[in-house]
Amino acid sequence: MNHGELLKMGEYNHLSIEGCSPDIIRCLYRFMLRLRRCQEALIKEYYPADEMRCPVHFCIGQEASPAALSLLLSQSDYLLSHHRCHGYYLAKGGSMNALFAEIYGRATGANGGIAGSQDISVHDLNFFSGAILSGSVAIAVGVALGFQTKALRSVAVTAFGDGATDQGIFWEAINYAVLRRLPLVFVCENNRYSTYAPLSKRQGKENISERVQSFGMNVKTVFGNDVALLYSVFSNAIEEAREGRGPCFIEAFTYRWNAHVGPGEDDYLGYRSVAEREFWKKNCPIALLEKQMVGQNLMDSKIKEKMIVEIDQEIATAFQFAKESPFPHLKEWSQLNYNIDTPQADRLLETIDSSFFDQNQKEAMPGPY
């Protein structure tokens, strides 16, 4: 499977909800709808308010993978994601309030405003993200090694894009995970683009899974907008890993609808074809599931309406929470060095007077020189 071949398929009509309980199907649907609406609301609120002062990578179109994982991981399992992380954050149980507050740079954010969108983490939930591509992959290998060493039944999952597979460390991590038969699931969301560069301009052959398989890894290649299929594939892989039968690599083909970063769209640049965009919008992960649910009487306009009201209420609350929350307390600046053994750093922090900062200070532009 590769992106070019997928486009020839036209409409995807293999999604089946037969094997899943209605409860699971409803949860998958609700997760995706909630994630979609939360992203859309953030995008709508972005300008002109301009209060989200950090790079934000939206994941509209890529809701299926985090949705499937949201039902399969326990608190003690680890999830290490990439910069496009809001879905995974919610999948691991992160609160919407703390997510919004983090993006708004407030003290009540998941990381007190220090990390922002692309580096958000939740220690209590064993959730991590990061802005260096493939940065989390090797770390996940180490987490899984920890589980194995301590004979725990926990599993590590690392999610990344096709861009991460350009990196040498990715292949080193794959090799080591196989060598040690680690309880680890690799989730590659292949959305074909690393920023503006398509896979075909970065790799000589579009066969990531094949190459990973040649390392001795169990590999699955799936249509990544089929959430029911993802649920079943993830479920098996996580179970196998938990039972000590080694790691698995899952390549899920999907597509980001928005620009690489920020609230806009960047299709006007012409780096992605209209046919491609239309294919993926037609095969929207939410719409594909909804169609099946309607066919099986699991969804109607009344149920959907009720869901939307609940979700939008949660989103409104999260915005209010974020906007009403204070910025980090400047008096606590000098306690930001958390390493108690480095008094030198403490002294240096103390010399930076937090009263220097005045958000209302007038602004100048430099030059000319």
Partner 1 sequence: MKSFMTFRESLSLAVAKEMEADPSVFVFGLDVPDHKRIFGSTKGLVEKFGLERCFGTPLSEDAMTGVALGAALSGLRPIHVHIRVDFMMLAMNQIVNMISNLRYMSGGKLTIPLVIRAVIGRGWGQSAQHSKSLQSFFAHIPGLKVVMPTTPQDAYSLLRTSIRDDNPVIFLEHRWLYDVEGEVDERKTIPLGNATVRRQGDAVTVVATSWMNVEALKAAEVLERRGIQLEVVDVRSITPLDEETIIQSVKKTRRCIVADYDWAFCGFSAELASLIHHRCFNDLKKPVERLGFAPVPCPTTRPLENLFYPSAVHIIRIVEQMLGLEKTDLSGESFYSYEHNFKGPF
Instruction: Give the footprint of partner 1 on residues 8-47 (CB under 8 A).
Output: 46-47
* CB-nearer residue toward partner 1: 275 or 365: 365
Report d(CA 58, CA 66) in Å as an integer.
13
# binding residues, partner 1 (CB under 8 A)? 71
Task: Kindly state whether residue 168 participates in binding partner 1, applying the rule CB under 8 A.
Answer: yes
Bridge partners, 218 (sequence order): 248
Which residue among 3, 34, 92, 106 contacts partner 1 (CB under 8 A)?
106
Please state whether beta strands 193-194 and 127-128 pair in parallel, antiparallel, or not at all (unpaired).
unpaired
Over the range 322-357, which residues count as b (16 or more CB within 10 Å of their CB) and which as e?
A: beebeebeeeebbeebeeeeeeeeeeeeeeeeeeee
What's the min distance (Å) between Cβ of 255 and partner 1? 19
Select from 18, 150, 269, 341 the one that contacts partner 1 (CB under 8 A). Answer: 269
114 binds partner 1 (CB under 8 A): yes
Q: Looking at 55, 93, 142, 216, which residue binds partner 1 (CB under 8 A)?
A: 55
Q: Which of 259, 252, 248 is nearest to 189 (CA)?
A: 252
Of 218, 250, 318, nearest to 1 by C-alpha is: 250
Among residues 16, 75, 76, 195, the one that binds partner 1 under rule CB under 8 A: 195
Q: Return d(Cα 198, Cα 270) in angstroms, integer.
A: 12
State the DSSP code for 122.
B
Residue span binding partner 1 (CB under 8 A) among the ranges 34-42, 148-156, 300-308, 348-356: 348-356
Kindly state whether residue 94 participates in binding partner 1, applying the rule CB under 8 A.
no
Q: Which of 94, 116, 183, 247 binds partner 1 (CB under 8 A)?
A: 116
Count of beta carbons in the 10 Å neighbourhood of residue 75: 11
Is residue 143 part of the contact set for partner 1 (CB under 8 A)? no
Supply the minimum distance, in Å, between the C-beta of residue 310 and partner 1: 29
Nearer to partner 1, 145 or 169 (CB): 169
Work out how close the CB of 65 gets to partner 1 at its nearest, in angstroms, rounded to a whole number. 20
Using CB under 8 A as the binding rule, whether residue 60 contacts partner 1 is answered as: no
Nearer residue to partner 1 within complex by CB, 21 or 360: 360
Using CB under 8 A as the binding rule, whether residue 362 contacts partner 1 is answered as yes
**Closest approach of Cβ 253 to partner 1, in Å?**
19
Told to check if 49 binds partner 1 by CB under 8 A, we report: no
Q: Minimal distance in Å, beta carbon 126 to partner 1?
A: 20
Distance CA 28, CA 13 (A): 18
300-329 residues in contact with partner 1 (CB under 8 A) are 327-328
Identify the residue among 9, 14, 74, 197 touching partner 1 (CB under 8 A).
197
Strands 218-223 and 248-253, how do they pair? Answer: parallel
Interface region with partner 1, contact rule CB under 8 A, candidates 112-120, 233-241, 248-256, 298-306: 112-120
- Six-digit token string for 63: 């809701």
Residue type, 204: G
Element housing 347 (H / E) = helix 343-350
Residues numbered 328-347 forming contacts with partner 1, rule: CB under 8 A: 328, 330, 333, 336-337, 342, 344-345
Crossing angle (nearest 10°) for helices 96-103 and 301-324: 50
Distance from C-alpha of 78 to C-alpha of 68, rounded to nearest angstrom: 15
Q: Is 201 in the site for partner 1 (CB under 8 A)?
A: yes
168-179 and 135-149 helices, crossing angle to 10°:
10
CA distance 38 to 43: 9
Grouping H, G, I as helix, E, B as strand and the rest as coil, residue 318 is helix
CB of 129 to partner 1, least distance (A): 10
